[in-house]
Amino acid sequence: MWLAWGATFGAQAHGFEERYDLPVPLAYVIAGACACVLLTFIAAVVWMRRPDVAQARPSTSAPLRQSSTKQPAVSRWLVKGISFLLFALTLVSALWGTRDPLMNLAPTLIWIGWWVGLSFAVIILGNIWPLLDPWRSLFELLNAGAKMLGRRNGIALNWPWPARIGRWPATVLLLVWCGLEVIYPIAMSPLKLGCLAVVWSVINVTGMVCFGREVWQRHADVFAVYFSTLGRQFGNCPTAESEAPVAGKVGFVLAMLSTVLFDGLHGSATWGYFDGALTVWIPQWLDTNGYVAGILGLITVWLIFVAAYRLTCRLCFALIPTPASSSGNPLTRLFLPTLIPIAAAYLIAHNFSNLLIQGQTLISLLSDPLGRQWDILGTAKFYPDIGLVDAKLTWIVALAAIVGGHVISIWRAHRLALSMGLSGAHTAITALPLTLLMIVYTGISLMVLAAPMVSPAP
């Protein structure tokens, strides 16, 4: 994420004013990364042809790893209470604090502490968002109060959710959220952030009341769906989605990938060519701030990801000797979990330095959340250590994350392909198009990531 105030601290979200001088040409690095992904595919083919491995088919119903929320009731509600108070403090800071985004707690806590920091925590720990979700806590409190007053079913009306709509509301909202993050400078206005939080709070709680909390959060609560999906990257073994097919699920996961890549693309020199090409078709008076070009670019990148994945799954399906299904493409859903580690890898690669550098400002902002020259915690004068992370470390972490994420995805894809009951050779052939797509993903993501971060070798 490119935050306008990042330059104030001498660092940007995905890079630095300094650049890392690669010891070898960038083309060699990308070729090596792609070769690593290809070698992983070969290793998976060879390893999983062993009889003992081949017989251990991956389960399609084993639960995916989620962070346990079965803590004692007192500690659970204590955590929920602290999280809700922090949400209230953020809202108060946004609505009544200083209009300077550098001195107001809300922008940094929302974009860095919550959106990036919690995403990293979910990657490591599993989905802890249900325990911290202030809107869920508010609904549960209101629901418990209604039951105490005699309403046996609480406040939920439990309207049926239209199956055709599925998860598309969450998908659209994720694209909108990315647009607000990258295209529209809402981060520069604490008041606008606060108003947005109020509007979303009303919509979110109303949705839970109308459709029930579980149904609403499974389909339309973009943050609940996002953190739940991100928390599904780990498990005891690679598994297919155990849920029933939901419309928009593929679009949502691919939005997780494409929005992060678009973030990096939007801040690169390549974006200038796209923007320039659009000026031929879009009148200048219609897009004075570049918002139209940004929206079209975001949608285009997402559609390319969706089309590439669906086409790849069609090719995989066409290579099955005797497909079990003659209608539809079950591989689109089967291979969907393989994309989640890539989404996590993109997130780490693009936000590692951002979290460590700009995240430090939360130490001072928590002591003066409204920007009123307070010093509640005695840390108001703390200044970030911008030397904590340099361009070299950021590049190494990003490279390792990108390659590691795709390696995990390749391995999982082959394990999932085995669940179709094909022979070793047919399994390898069926998974080959997806492997090629992963290699393309690896190359493109590294090129976008390297643009603002590294200098080519001489």
Report residue 402 as tokens: 């990108």
Q: What pTM did the predictor assign?
A: 0.89
> For the chain (length 458 residues), average pLDDT per consecutive 10?
42 51 87 95 81 47 44 81 95 96 95 96 94 96 91 91 94 95 87 96 97 96 96 54 72 94 81 71 66 87 95 90 61 91 94 93 95 93 88 92 95 87 82 94 90 66
The bridge status of strand 20-21 relative to strand 454-455 is: parallel
Question: What's the pLDDT score for residue 457?
Answer: 56
Query: Residue 455 pairs with which residues in a beta bridge?
Result: 21
